[in-house]
Structures are given as structure tokens and as C-alpha cells.
Amino acid sequence: MKLEPMAERLESEGLGSQGDDIFINFMPAEKTGLLLRYPFGGVMIDHDLPGYRKGSFQLIARGKDYETALELINQAIAALEMEEADLTGLRVKYMRPRHDPFTFPTSVGNNVEFLVNIDVCYVIL
């Protein structure tokens, strides 16, 4: 799954900039912002529907306090939630959260993190 189009969408919605506070697969411990993580095991391929993919990815928001991190993940969910939309290289059929965001214990950098799994069905262009 390509996560770059999702990172571009977050950036275009004013939620940060890639490499500064929007990251893919790894976020330095001292940074706050948004992290998009590839799904463990990849995205299943349905050979009967060429080009179609149905999978998920993790969206993580990290902030200095509970309220900041919660607000950031809710803004990111709103930016990514869509039906029948085109992103760079993808035609999204739907992208939506699977569950409400949940929090982790405080991180190594003493930050608060929220996670939500995002389900997505798309066609590779």
C-alpha cells in the first residue's frame, strides 16, 4: 500500500508537512505529529479484481498532552475519511476509521499517542 498519497492529503489539509510532523512508518522519538504505518502482512491482492485493493493502515497522532494529541487525530481522521475520491495514483472507493481512537501509555519522549486503524478500498491508477 502506498501511504504517500495519504500523507499528501494530510499536508494539503494543513495538518503538517512531510518529514517535519507527518511521517511514514517511522517517527523520531523527539517529534510530535502524525505517523502513517504500513499494515503488518501487507494488503491482500484479489486476482479476480485486477488493480483493486482492500486493506488498512495505522494512523497515529503524537502530542505533548492528551488534548493536543486527541484533537490532532480527530482532525486527521476528518481529512482522510472519504468516499469516491482521487488521490495521487489511487482512486479511493472508501477510506474510514475502523474504531474510535485509543491511547497508549506515555511514549519514550514523554508524549501522548492515539491510534486508529483506517480501512481503505482503492484502485491503483
Domain CATH number, residue 78: 3.30.2000.10
Longest dimension (CA), the chain: 47
Distances (CA, A) of 68 to 33, 61, 71, 86, 91: 10, 9, 5, 30, 32
What is the value of pTM for the model shown? 0.92
CB of 81 closer than 8 Å to CB of 98: no
The per-residue pLDDT for range 33-50, each reduced to its tens digit, is 999 998 888 888 888 888
pLDDT value of position 109: 75
Q: Which three cell numbers stand for residue 46?
A: 484479489
Domain count, the chain: 1
Q: Which residues span the domain enclosing 65?
A: 4-124
